[in-house]
Amino acid sequence: MALDKPGEDYEGRTSYTHVGTRVDRPDGLDKVTGRAKFGADAHAPGMLHGAIVRSPHAHAKILKIDTSKAEALAGVKAVVTRADFATGLEGEEWNVLENVMASDTALYDGHALAAIAATSSLIARDAVKLVEVEYELLPHVTDVDEAMKPDAPVIRAGQQSKLVPEGMHPNVVNYYEGGHGDMDAGFAEADLVIERHFTTEAAHQGYIEPHAALATLGADGKGELWCCTQGHFIVQKTCAALVGIDTSQLRVTASEIGGGFGGKTTVFLEPLALALSRKSNRPVKMVMSRSEILRATGPTSSASMDIKIGMTKDGRITAGKGVFRLQGGAFPDAPAGMAAECSFAPYNLNAVSIEGYEVMANRPKQAAYRAPGSPMAAFAVESVVDELCKALELDPIETRLKNASREGTKAAYGPTWDRIGLVECLEAAQAHPHMQAPLRESEGRGVAAGFWFNHGGETSVSLALSEDGTAQISVGTPDIGGSRASMALMAAEILGIEYENIRVTVADTATLGYNDVSHGSRVTYASGLATINAAKDAVGKLCDRAAQRWGIDPEAVIWEDGCAKPAGPNAGQFDPMPLKEITQRMGRTGGPISGHFEATPEGAGVSFGVHIVDAHVDRETGKTSIDRYTVIQDAGKAVHPTYVEGQFQGGAAQGIGWALNEEYVYGEDGRLQNTVFLDYRIPVASDLPMIDTVIVEVPNPGHPFGVRGVGETGICPPLAAIANAVSGAVGVRMTSLPMSPPKILKALKEQ
């Protein structure tokens, strides 16, 4: 099937039997009764418990690690350091290894230096305290702008890509550039040009379930790993490389997952548990504490951005320029390029210029967090658009409609849009009662649009029919947002059997072909497309069996309402043959019937959203409360609307945290100050209003049912929408996140 040409796959159905219904979730009972097995629920007879020795310094040469006292402690069975891992790795694999186990330098507060396995976790933790490390302290830098200054300490020399403009500090490791049109002419055409500087702090994905892994690895190089992850195939590949075994010799099983949001798309504990198991010859279990999670797993980047936009009096954007500097920890790959690419995506511009800088600092390696790069870019661009609208007395939605990207618009980063749903989202926002509701004193209303690419990725699905007419589906993408329900709904639609008669399992790495991580909002799209095609593959075989039985040509059989039927009167007169009738005989008529599909689909279909927020600010304390919130987003086709709404609300909730109070607070010493949820302030339930949702459905040409991913776009507009609301409430433009009470009060006083 040709999937490389997006746009060919949408079937254009006008009605569905199963897709679009709000069926019960298949994991519901397990989760409410506690039967569901999360990462830390794994247990093996004789298992040891691991703990990690971490650097208390932001930047230090490791002169010596003396583990002798720890090894002498009763109950300690193994200690590993970098020497116990593979050598000769390159590129991202080297970076991941360096992040999970330092070689010669501690690059951030919390950087792992050694790991210990003992008969109890208390003993392991006590042993950690007995490890003596000699350091030579090095100067450190944690702020992105500081890290780019000429006199900033060099974090790791030799990492700079050739794309980086000459003369930049070695901490600037990569550069991205894009855009089109004549910028000078564009700005000259404008009646008003506004240019502003914006900053955002790093925010953690804040998943409630801690990282956890249970590993066995024998001297024969065969291993088993159970862990919570968004992608066990990447865990398999990476861990095998890091401990130096063949990929296929390591079987990885993904547990239920208690949140990931991008942060569980890489490895942290897993290779350490494997190395400890190999050394101790026992299963080893490791679970992170919250403080380890905050200090040493990836938050998103912090950012420093400059935006300049010109607008005519009647609201036409004449030119837009954005510079995005993203700090990615002591490693390359901060999503600066993606920030730049997403920044002006909602706008149809004749002149646009975007630049991104990836910057290293003494912080943990950034990890993906829902639409990496896009939320901060939207914050900066949508703030300036809002300010222009205010200054020119223009309606914010009308103005966005006037400039909106639509089918045929050329994006700043190159592509020309296929069918997209931004205009429909803006129109839905305009018509929403929220826009007409009166505001109370000290309350502001903010509007913002947001964009995310969405992704396809390597995908493989198997579907097996059982003799009783039910089906089981094996997918390789951990269910992080309701995908088991969605896969079953889509398969039910094709097979014509009931949703309840389908069980979807996240298969381990030994039972299915490679699958990319559950990221990029790709699962309902790509695993969904693969599920539909696997079901069609099975349907083809079902039709073959019916044809065999009827003694007619397979082409003369069609599949309808769960039955094989003769294609027309010429094909012959036969009663419809239900699926169950065929599967009951399948052993005798040619063997088991399964459907398969493998591909790297590329028609993911981008997605846009528009958020409306009412925020109230207590002018005496600077405290913001979010009074009303509406999310409007294009889902292409909502396979399970309740899950889609949940994704919209989740994105908004996390955006509220990032906008108002979440931040990484580093001390002068470069140590993270707020390493528990008491001080790393994600919103609690009572901080949030009911978040209203509107699902817009503009079908994605690249999916049989028109599905677009919905997992990430929901976090793109909130930072901007909330900043616009708060700026309206206080009468001062807020350009730095989080908009914590001290910052707002200060801005009010300086007014």
Q: How far is the CB of 684 from another protein (least distance, A)?
A: 5
Distance, in Å, from the CA atom of 49 to the CA atom of 550, rounded to the nearest integer, reads 62
Q: Is residue 158 within 8 Å of 275, Cβ to Cβ? A: no
CB of 745 to another protein, least distance (A): 6
27 or 687: CB nearest another protein: 687
CA distance 87 to 307: 43
Closest approach, Cβ 325 to another protein, in A, equals: 24
> Which long-range CB contacts under 8 A does 26-34 form with residues at least 24 apart?
26/484, 26/485, 26/488, 26/503, 26/504, 27/256, 27/479, 27/484, 30/256, 31/256
Comparing CB distances to another protein, the nearer of 52 and 397 is 52
Minimum CB separation of residue 621 from another protein in Å reads 5
How far apart CA 538 and CA 98 sit, in angstroms, is 45
Residue 502 φ then ψ, to 5°: -125, 130
**Shortest Cβ distance from residue 467 to another protein (Å)?**
49
CA–CA separation, 582 and 497 (whole Å): 13
Residue nearer to another protein on the CB measure, 624 or 647: 624
Quote the least distance from Cβ 622 to another protein, whole Å.
Answer: 7
Dihedral sign of CA atoms 605, 606, 612, 617 in order: positive
Q: Which residue has the tokens 């579907």?
A: 463
> Rounded to an integer, what distance in angstroms lies between the CA atom of residue 491 and that of residue 450?
31
Question: Residue numbers of the site for another protein (CB under 8 A)?
Answer: 125, 289, 291, 620-623, 660-661, 665, 673-674, 676-679, 681, 683-684, 686-687, 740-742, 745-746
Q: What is the dihedral of CA 376, 380, 381, 387, to 10 degrees?
A: 150
- Alpha carbon distance 693, 647 (integer Å): 10
> Is the separation of the CB atoms in 412 and 352 below 8 Å?
yes
Kind plus residue range of the DSSP H or E element containing 36: none
For residue 25 the two structure tokens come to: 């979730």
CB of 294 to another protein, least distance (A): 12
Q: Which is nearer to another protein, 589 or 674 (CB)?
A: 674
Please report how close the Cβ of residue 686 comes to another protein at its closest, in angstroms.
4
Least Å from the CB of residue 746 to another protein: 7
Select 3 or 748, whichever has its Cβ closest to another protein: 748
Residue carrying structure tokens 């040009």? 193
Q: For residues 164 and 167, what is the distance between their CA atoms, to the nearest angstrom?
A: 9
Question: Which two three-digit tokens encode residue 142?
Answer: 């944690």
Q: How far apart are CA 329 and CA 334, in angstroms?
A: 8
Min CB(290)–another protein separation in Å: 9
Residue number with CB closer to another protein (346 or 655): 655
Sheet holding 443-452, edge to edge: 443-452, 607-618, 623-634, 691-696
Query: What's the first-to-final CA gap in the chain, in angstroms?
Result: 62
Minimum Å gap between C-beta 288 and another protein is: 13
Identify the H or E element spanning 227. strand 223-227
Q: 104 or 441, CB closer to another protein?
A: 441
Minimum CB distance to another protein smaller for 161 or for 673: 673
What backbone phi and psi angles, to 5 degrees, belong to 470?
-105, 175
Residue 564 CA neighbour count, 13 Å, CB half: 30
Element (H, E) at 231: none
Least CB distance to another protein at residue 267 (A): 25
Which residue, 426 or 660, has its beta carbon nearer to another protein? 660
Alpha-carbon gap, residue 193 to 207, rounded angstroms: 41
Cα–Cα nearest to 618, from 367, 366, 442: 442
Nearer to another protein, 126 or 191 (CB): 126
Between residues 54 and 565, which has the closer beta carbon with respect to another protein?
A: 54
Shortest Å distance, C-beta 616 to another protein: 13
Closer by beta carbon to another protein, 251 or else 623: 623
Picking from 365, 227, 369, 213, the residue whose alpha carbon sits closest to that of residue 296 is: 365
**Judged by CB, which is closer to another protein: 592, or 667?**
667
